[in-house]
Amino acid sequence: MLLFWGLLLCWGLLPQTRGEAQHLLFHRISIDQLETDISDMFSKNHVLERMTKIPVTGDMSKGMPILDHLPFVRENLSKKKTGLDLSIVGDLLSGKKLPVVEELIRAGGLVIEDAKGPEVTLEILSYSLLQVTLRCKLYVSLQGILRLKIIKNIRIGVGLEQTRNKTKVVLKECYTPPGYLSIKLLETINPLLVNEALELVSKTLDEVLPFLLQKIVCPKVSTLLNLLLEDLLQFILPPTISGAEDFQYYVITTELMKDTIVMEILLVTPCGQHQRVQWPDHQPPQPLPKLAHGSMADLVFWQEVYNGILSCLYTSEVIHVDAQDPMAVDLVQLLWLRELDPEPKASLLSGESMVLTISTPESPTVHLDNGMAMLTQPGSLALLGPSNTSFSSVSWKLHSKAVFSSRNRILNVQIHLDR
């Protein structure tokens, strides 16, 4: 992969090109990593923070009531503006006045003191529909009489639509699924009131809590989720596209698989003259390998694709060196030794101009094997005389290999050249 990106980044060093080749790439994103990213984003932005210190019931005419001080009750339940009537407290402790609990709830005495989470889970419903579930933990208090831990889920549907060269994110309704409400008693001042009070509280929460979550939490999480997914699904290959002579890419499809989001991408590579790579009209589909454990994302392409791009971009080169150059002496001697008649040619003895040529007419070929890449570069040496007459020539292949390894999330590359 490192060689692939390096090749793309160095494209500008090549001469102007004509023609093109088309190759399929696959960009994959881990669903587990996406789940972690969404959870981290919601935690960082404190999406449940506005749920704290809110009475579950009360006057909603002026928006959501926010409490700065606890406890909170209306004046008709207290002789003082700052607390409960002591006679009511005594009745509650003795269990004689259960109707007062109803009054407390209606008056806003049932308060969300704290909120934790949300915990995020993702479920793929179809190739283009993802369900996001937010598990919200709310800690509710009824004026110190009861303290409860509430778990309520929020669900958001996420649809993926392909529009030209872009994957569009379409958020469905954000809602709280009916029928599920987990309530756990943490504290109570009167065990005699627990069953009856819990029944009243459960009924109230079941009616009001979905409205509060949809009103307060849904708008914020929907906006954040849309921003994250839109950014995540913007696939950009270097270099920046500026014209027809540059790399072009097209996102053909974006699909939700079992554990990944898979983007199928058509990469159009500019080719040199007479370098257009021909591919069959219908290539048999090849199964994608599993995403490596712990990987956030990857770019999948086959060895044939890499070599095709390399061949398309490659420009043959011929280097001319004077045979009298001290740096070329050993190569010239090698060519003479290959001749059946090792005696120096008359043209060389007469001092006529001789030229050593080094040519690489074909592109290198890369073979990938696990964590190693082997590159083979064919070429030839020739000793030319007047009128480009060849006196001697030899073909060669240069082999080099690169070994990839990682440690502490750092990619290490060792390159070896075979002599």
Per-residue pLDDT at 228: 94
Cβ proximity of 390 and 369 under 8 Å? no
The CATH number given to whatever domain includes residue 107 is: 3.15.10
Tell me: pLDDT of 59 over 60. no
Of 257, 256, 263, give the one whose Cα is nearest residue 233: 263
Q: Are both 291 and 395 inside the same structural domain?
A: yes
Query: Is the domain of 339 the same as that of 202?
Result: no
**Is the residue at 239 inside a domain?**
no
* Integer Cα distance of 20 and 275 in angstroms: 9
Q: Is 65 helix (H, G, I), strand (E, B) or coil?
A: coil
Same domain, 9 and 51: no
Residue 264 lies in a domain: no
Pair (10, 52) in one structural domain: no
Structure tokens belonging to residue 40: 């981290």
pLDDT, tens digit (0-9, with 9 covering 90-100), for 225-253: 999 999 888 866 555 455 556 778 888 89
- Is the peptide bond between 239 and the residue preceding it cis, with omega within 30 degrees of 0? yes
Q: Is the pLDDT of residue 317 over 70?
A: yes
Per-residue pLDDT tens over the stretch 174-217:
999 887 889 898 888 777 667 777 888 888 898 889 999 999 99
Q: How far apart are CA 177 and CA 131, in angstroms?
A: 12
Residue at 235 is within a domain: no
The b/e string for 10-40 (b: 16+ C-beta within 10 A; e otherwise) is: ebeeeeebeebbebbbbbbbbbbbbeebbbe
Query: Is the CB of residue 162 less than 8 Å from the CB of residue 296?
Result: no
Pair 68, 7 in one domain: no
Residue type, 375: L
Asked whether residue 26 is assigned to any structural domain, the reply reads: no
The answer to whether residues 389 and 339 belong to one domain is yes
Q: Which of 230, 260, 285 is the last residue of a domain?
A: 230
Look at the chain and report how many structural domains it folds into.
Answer: 2
- Provide φ and ψ at 36, rounded to 5°: -65, -45
pLDDT tens for residues 72-82?
333 333 333 44
Collapsing DSSP states into helix, strand and coil, what is residue 207? helix
Give the integer Cα–Cα distance in Å for 58 and 108: 5
pLDDT tens for 107-147 read: 667 889 999 989 999 999 999 999 999 999 999 988 777 88
The residues near 30 (Cβ < 8 Å, ≥ 6 apart) are 259, 260, 291, 295, 296, 297
Are 165 and 299 within one domain?
no
Average pLDDT over every residue of 160-169: 86
Examine residue 249 and state whether it is found in any structural domain, yes or no.
no
Domain assignment present for residue 146? The answer is yes
On whether residue 21 sits in a domain, the answer given is no
Q: Are residues 180 and 41 in the same domain?
A: yes
Residue 359 bridge partners (DSSP): 318, 380
Q: How many residues does the chain have?
A: 419
Do residues 9 and 70 share a domain? no
Q: Does one domain contain both 169 and 208?
A: yes
Q: Where are the beta strands (DSSP E) in 209-275?
A: 248-256, 260-270
Closest CA to 329 of 356, 348, 293: 356
Domain boundaries, position 91: 33-230
Is the model's pTM score more than 0.95? no
Q: Based on the domain organization, do 302 and 377 belong to the same domain?
A: yes
Tell me, yes or no, whether 51 lies in a domain: yes
Residues 184 and 274 in one domain: no
